Copies of this chain bind each other. A is one copy, B any other.
């Protein structure tokens, strides 16, 4: 496994990759790798000759009061896991290497990036889209793999790649969960013992909401079902919302055959957790 630090080290490896036969895929991460990330890598390896993993905690997508400083950093362990999974190249750029000068031109994801998580995390999706666009230009992979847990992120990246005619296939991979249903997240380490026991309620509530579609097509009743359950949680509810997928449009009455996203964010003492279910109305 080749480890690159600087942009120029990466550019040499990119040349090697491009000269080799077969396609290569990118798995962009912020490190603190868990089974969810490893699943992205396994999926990527099944379809591509080579897999490149980036580890970069992007300051541009963290708000002033968010957890950039406390975001878990576990580089040694990450590299061991990547070695074991058979990643071909790992690139860990420094902040100075990606933002040599102040980033003056950025991506504008409004209105897609203003709703759901974006209504609280102002500027988050613009910052995320900006760094993903930078990586797509610097890496130019045949495909890039993202988790469906960040469904809004996935929807925005897919639209960006389409809108800007970028020759990279964006692949969304199913969320990996613990046995009790809790979606894996690097931020789960910030849950205390009681919160960890409580946290599966998030997925249970979303599941109840989706099950409610057997009885009603009324979006408000479906989200209410999920909210009612979440009110028993130790966490405070940031939002529970039902929108079309991937266009993230408000919906009042669900129509058969269409795809929807039921998404929620909750706040524990030190951890903000998100989860969602993407489903087709039947």
Contacts and interface: CB of A to CB of B under 8 A. Distances in A.
Interface in A234-259: none
A105 interface: yes
Nearest to A126: B108
17 contacts: A7-B165, A101-B162, A104-B109, A104-B112, A104-B159, A105-B109, A105-B159, A105-B160, A106-B107, A107-B107, A133-B164, A134-B163, A134-B164, A134-B165, A137-B165, A137-B166, A137-B167
A17 to B, nearest CB: 15
B109 A107 contact: no
Nearest to A104: B159
Given A104-B109, A105-B160, 19 more contacts: A7-B165, A101-B162, A104-B111, A105-B109, A105-B112, A105-B129, A105-B156, A105-B159, A106-B107, A106-B108, A106-B163, A107-B107, A107-B108, A134-B163, A134-B164, A134-B165, A137-B164, A137-B167, A138-B165
A103 interface: yes
Contacts of A137: 164-167
Contact of A105 (B7, B104, B105, B164): B164
Interface residues of A, number: 26
A106 B126 CA distance: 10
A270 to B, nearest CB: 32
Interface string A105-121: 11111011000000000
